[in-house]
Amino acid sequence: MKKNSIVAGMISVACFYSAAVVAEQARFNPDISLTLDGRYGSYSNVSDYELPGYMLGGEASRGEQGFHLGHTELSMSSNIDDMFFGKFTTAIAEHEGETEIELEEVYVETLALGNGITAKAGRFYSDIGYLNNQHNHSWDFTDEPLIYRGLFGNQLIDDGLQFSWLVPTETYFKVGIEATRGERFPAGGAANDGSGAYAMFAKFGGDVGLSHAWQLGFSHWRADIENRASGSHAHDAGAVETPSFSGESTVNGIDFVWKWAPKGNNREQNLKIQSEYFVRDEDGQVELIGSNPLESTTYNGQQSGWYLQTVYQFIPRWRVGYRYDQLDSDNQGADSDVLMEAGLDNEGHKPERSTLMLDYSYSEYSRFRLQMSKDDSYEDSDNIVFLQYIVTLGAHGAHRF
Amino acid sequence: MRKGISFFIVTFLLSLTTPLSAAINVFACEPEWVSLIDELGGERIKSYSATTAFQDPHHVEARPSLIAKIRRADLVVCSGAELEVGWLPVLLRQASNTEIMPGKMGYFEAAAQVERLDIPVHIDRSSGDVHASGNPHVHLDPRRIQLIADALFNRLKIIDPAGSDYYQNRFDDFTQRWQAAIQQWQLQARELKGQRIVVHHRDWVYLFDWLGIEIAGALEPRPGLPASPGHVSLLKKGLIKEPAKMIVHTPYQSTRAAKRLSQITNIQVVELPYTVGGTEQVNDLFELFTVTIAKLKGGLE
């Protein structure tokens, strides 16, 4: 009897010990997480995608038809020591039959400069806007807002340096500046010896009672651009012409988020309302590279747009959402034919889109989504349906606001 | 004139960075730690709780207001053991407050001060949202609260040495009252020993361990997953063979599944305060245990 209890005691100590060792070792490895994203897309319209008034670039597209994989994302992050935090995210995706590995985020961030100051260096999503610095798998809709597609080629990411200061006030108030390379869309050419773009942002936020929380942000981005190429297209004769912009580009934006959960408990029910507005001014020259003789024009344009979306979790696991997008543009230049070739003629059309979403999350790590849009991005109206799963393997994700 | 302006700017900036009052700012993740730190720190500290009894501490977002609060904290007191893994690391990274980073004197994890239960041998998400460091809900055992109070008291003396005598007096006073209260609670709770109770989530492991109560089942099929009808009928089958006295849940948990199980088994549902503020009568840790034991005893009748 006594012997038995001693043996049982030893076993339980052994179990306790081995589990502690496992947890201990895990702590020295980086947090690793893998996100799998699978989709089915259906479109009523098969003509080539365009967004009249916008020169598209980056990852901008309306997505693929039929069964396909979205970006598979592998992410590792960890505290490097007591001063630095490091993060690495790579996306693996297939583009036209070829598997491509893309470096998304690769950065080092300070943990303890103190006084609310944080510095970040490397490749990172800009902190402008609300959605921009979030990974698209944590977005509430399968695809990006039209204004993100039109201005940023889905998301603004660049190599450089960021400083931010959390001001020690009662209300949340954070300001930051970024200086970046300016080679990736929507910049181009890595002007000024590879420091062609910079950004500024200010964010405010707080609670109203126990059940409400809000955040308001202002953003500014500016770049000197040398030869920013956008989607090329072939003429009947076969010559491929690529529109290219050189000049100055400025983006200003405002974003707002309001969240509600009864007594602050978002487990059962919660509601989120968010909206962002951006306006871009560009001034410079547009050339059609590949045309003979070289066609070019002066270009002075403004593109703006906003979206408003609301997502409601009505019972645990289930959420519904609605999003409305609208864009506008006003582009002027000496040669309107060249502007039209470059996609800068809005053809008297205001792109808009309405989207409905329903998703189900079995746990925090798996989500299934059905999304339907009526897309009037361009003149041929499109009905789009997405089915999507997003699952996360590994480290527990952050509950960001 | 120029000098005058820059003097003003410098004093303004300094006034932003130095705290206005001398009190130690304490950021507690949960209300039970506010109660404990108030017992020990009294007027020398100013405490704030990131959550209330009506919020699930697993599921909190790194809200702007919390970032602003933790930015100005001198001491962070949290349950730890990965209870706040979804939001506390984000707050700490965003705040850039040197004093409260893990490993520093300003960072205090309650669960790290005591032996934990439910440490999983096998860590896999198929077992639900398990915590590798064990069950984090350590505040529901008053014996562990005493150990945590010991450690927290020592921490306060390091952070604010000028208040050592003050903290010593308050700690001695607390310990005396707390030990007396434990004796009384144990006496009151004698009849709870050996009783079987159904729980919503394994929040109650430490309370039941202390009082000798047996967990008759959990409404969550796996930790962190909502109860499903299939799981509830499975629970019912088990409860026919081995009955239980009551079904307990916290103020922040849905009562749907508990009520469903209650309807088909005739076992009554009891809402326990879980933490300070969980019911109107519970304003501190003493009242938390007094009310909890009274409610559990009420459930036996």
Cβ pair A401:B62 closer than 8 A = yes
> Tokens 């951006």 sit at which residue?
A278
At A105, the amino acid letter reads E
In A238-257, the residues whose Cβ lies within 8 Å of chain B are none
> Residue A116: its chain B contacts at CB < 8 A?
71, 95-97
pLDDT value at residue B229: 87
Query: Is the Cβ pair B85, A205 closer than 8 Å?
Result: no
Nearest one of A88, A126, A85 to A106, comparing CA atoms: A88
Confidence (pLDDT) at A21: 39
pLDDT > 70 fraction of chain B, expressed in percent and rounded: 93
Choosing among B61, B109, B135, B253, which should be mutated to test the A contact, i.e. which has the most A CBs within 10 A? B61
Residue with tokens 């896999």: B124
Contact B61 A110 (CB under 8 A): no
Residues 6+ apart with CB under 8 A from B184: none
pLDDT bin (cut points 50, 70, 90) of residue B19 is: very low
Considering only the beta carbons, identify the residue of B56, B68, B96 that sits closest to A265: B56
- Distance of residue A383 Cα from the nearest chain B Cα, in angstroms: 35
Query: Is pLDDT above 60 for B16?
Result: no
Task: Assess contact for A161 and A293: CB atoms under 8 A.
Answer: no
pLDDT of residue B5: 58
Residue pair B136/B81 in contact (Cβ under 8 Å)? The answer is yes
In angstroms, the separation between the Cα of residue A372 and the nearest Cα of chain B is 28
Looking at residue B3, its pLDDT comes to 55
Q: B35 to each of A236, B28, B32, B137, B171, how far by Cα in Å?
A: 77, 10, 5, 15, 13
Q: What is the model's pLDDT at position B134?
A: 92
Asked if A364 and B129 come within 8 Å (Cβ–Cβ), the reply is yes
Q: Of B63, B96, B225, which is closest to A114 when you measure between CB atoms?
A: B96
The whole-number pLDDT of residue B24 equals 95
At A2 the pLDDT is 43
Cβ neighbour number for residue B49 with a 10 Å cutoff: 23
Q: Tell me the two tokens of residue A140.
A: 């509430």
The model's confidence at residue B185, banded by pLDDT at 50, 70 and 90, is: very high
Predicted TM-score (pTM) of this structure:
0.89
CB pair distance less than 8 Å for B55 and A265? yes
- Pick the residue of B49, B58, B63 with the most A CBs within 10 A to test the interface with A by mutation: B63
Do the chains contact at A398 and B62, CB–CB below 8 Å?
Answer: yes
The whole-number pLDDT of residue B14 equals 52
For residue B60, give the nearest of A22, A115, A399 by CB distance: A399
* CB–CB contact A109 B93 (8 Å): yes
Q: What pLDDT, on a 0 to 100 scale, did the predictor assign at position A237?
A: 56
C-alpha to C-alpha distances, B187 to B192, B284, B285, B286, nearest whole angstrom: 10, 20, 18, 15
Contact A267 B120 (CB under 8 A): no
Asked if residues A355 and A322 have their Cβ atoms less than 8 Å apart, the reply is: yes
Ranking A95-99, B128-132, B294-298 by mean pLDDT, the lowest is B128-132
Preceding omega of A186 cis (within 30 degrees of 0): yes
Partners of A174 on chain B (C-beta within 8 Å) are 67
pLDDT of residue A15: 38
Given a cut of 50, the residues of chain A with pLDDT beneath it are 1-25
B285-300 vs B31-41: helix crossing angle, rounded to 10: 130
The domains of chain A are located at 36-394
Asked if A168 is an interface residue toward chain B (Cβ–Cβ < 8 A), one would say yes
Inform me whether the C-beta atom of residue B226 falls under 8 Å from chain A C-beta atoms: yes
CA of B290, closest CA in chain A: separation in Å?
Answer: 25
Q: Which residues have CB under 8 Å from B23's CB, separation 6+?
A: B43, B44, B45, B46
> Where does the pLDDT of residue B129 fall: very low under 50, low under 70, confident under 90, or very high at 90 and above?
confident
Mean pLDDT over each residue of chain B, to the nearest integer: 91
The closest CB to that of A398, out of B72, B86, B254, belongs to B86
Q: Which domains does chain B have, with CATH numbers?
A: 21-183 (3.40.50.1980), 189-300 (3.40.50.1980)
pLDDT at A47: 79
pLDDT digits (tens, 9 = 90+) for B194-225: 999 999 998 999 999 999 999 999 999 888 88
- Residue A80 near chain B (CB below 8 Å): no
Say what the pLDDT of residue A240 is. 83
User: What pLDDT is stored for residue B20 in this prediction?
Assistant: 46
Distance from CA of B87 to the nearest CA of A (A): 5
Among A172-186, A358-372, B17-31, B86-100, the minimum mean pLDDT is found in B17-31
Task: Give B89's contacts in chain A (Cβ within 8 Å).
Answer: 398
**Across the strands, what pairs with A311?**
A272, A321
- State yes or no: pLDDT of B4 exceeds 80: no
Q: Pick from B65, B82, B94: which is nearest to A213 by CB?
A: B65
**Distance between CA B92 and CA B98 in Å, rounded?**
9
Chain B residues in contact with A210 by the CB 8 A cut-off are: 52, 54
ipTM over 0.90 threshold:
no
Higher-confidence residue of A8 and B72: namely: B72
Of B64, B101, B133, the CB nearest to A401: B64
Q: Which helix (H) or strand (E) holds B165?
A: helix B164-188
Determine the pLDDT at residue B10.
Answer: 55
> Are B64 and A205 a contacting pair at CB < 8 A?
yes
pLDDT digits (tens, 9 = 90+) for A214-273: 999 999 999 999 999 987 666 655 668 899 999 999 999 999 999 999 999 998 899 999
Chain B touched by A113 (CB under 8 Å): yes
* The CATH classification of domain A36-394, taken from the options 3.90.1150.10, 2.40.160.10, 3.30.70.3190, 3.30.379.10: 2.40.160.10
A-B CB pairs within 8 A amount to: 146
Tokens of A2: 């006594």
Would you call A392 an interface residue with chain B, using a CB distance cutoff of 8 Å?
A: no
Query: Which of B82, B120, B128 shows the shortest CA–CA distance to B102?
Result: B82
Q: Tell whether A358 lies on the interface with B, counting CB pairs under 8 A.
A: no
